Structure 1
Amino acid sequence: MVGEGFDRVTRLKGGWLEARSDAGYVLARHWPPRFDVQATSEFENLRASRLARQVRQDLWRAVQNLRGFSPVVQILFTTGGLAVTAGGRVDGRIPHGIESQIQALLDDPARRARWKTWARRGK
């Protein structure tokens, strides 16, 4: 279940919610978060909160016309880096191909380069 194992949920500016644990990070608009649609991608070790915010912003821009959509980004820490799941809750009809659209967003080389620059860990 999304958000499972996250004991402390913090409210951010703008009504967003974040949860952190040793296992990962979740950024969502509603709690508990839910994935009605989702796509996953791997990243190297980056700052999870910064990466999640960038992914969430681009995800929202890409599917903002999807009625009843509420973005969720979950990042799990892996031995090789990060496993990022992006998608969210949809209150209503889920259009065909939306998961492919989210996957294309996560796999876009230009976006990935921008996200990595923004979320790179300091030296």
Structure 2
Amino acid sequence: MPNTWIVEQSETRVLVTRRKPVRWDVSARAEFPPCKALRLAHQIRQDMWRELQKIKGFCPAVEVELGEVFQVRAGGRVARHVHPLASEWVEDLLNSNTHRRRWLAYAKART
């Protein structure tokens, strides 16, 4: 499948999604320290996809609002039935210390 990710970047926001308009059927929020927002968004998207690919019709999206502290919203659209625990799974992922350390190390790397 070709890389068909939609990436929108501005001075205040980064969005990575597969479809527009973004629909947040499943979502969770977390704060992150400033870093390379696009790299952070892609890392979260990848791990979220790995976690939620069991949900049929899941289309991930990650939005990073830039500021002194980055506000991240992760989740996305679900084409079929939304699993009642899906948002909780995303929240658990965003709060996983192991994932956060890896994402931030990558997003702060000098490449």
TM-score (norm 1): 0.85
Shift of 1:53: 0.5
Report the equivalent of 1:113.
Answer: 101
CA distance in 1, matches of 2:59, 2:80: 11
Shift of 1:67: 0.5
Give 1:37's aligned amino acid.
V
Superposed CA RMSD in Å reads: 1.1
List structure 1 runs of 4+ shifted beyond 3 angstroms: none
Shift of 1:15: 0.6
CA distance in 2, matches of 1:58, 1:67: 16
Whether 2:79 is the aligned partner of 1:91: answer yes
**Structure 2: tracts of 5 or more residues without a match:** none
Report the equivalent of 1:62.
Answer: 51
User: How many residues of Structure 1 are paired with residues of Structure 2 in the alignment?
Assistant: 109
**Structure 1: tracts of 5 or more residues without a match:** 1-12
Q: 1:74 aligns with which of 63, 75, 99?
A: 63
Report the equivalent of 1:9.
Answer: none
Whether 2:30 is the aligned partner of 1:34: answer no
CA distance in 2, matches of 1:82, 1:57: 19
Whether 2:16 is the aligned partner of 1:51: answer no
CA distance in 1, matches of 2:11, 2:105: 24
- Identity across matched positions, percent: 34
CA distance in 2, matches of 1:74, 1:35: 11
Shift of 1:121: 6.0
Shift of 1:81: 2.0
Give 1:38's aligned amino acid.
S
CA distance in 1, matches of 2:36, 2:5: 18
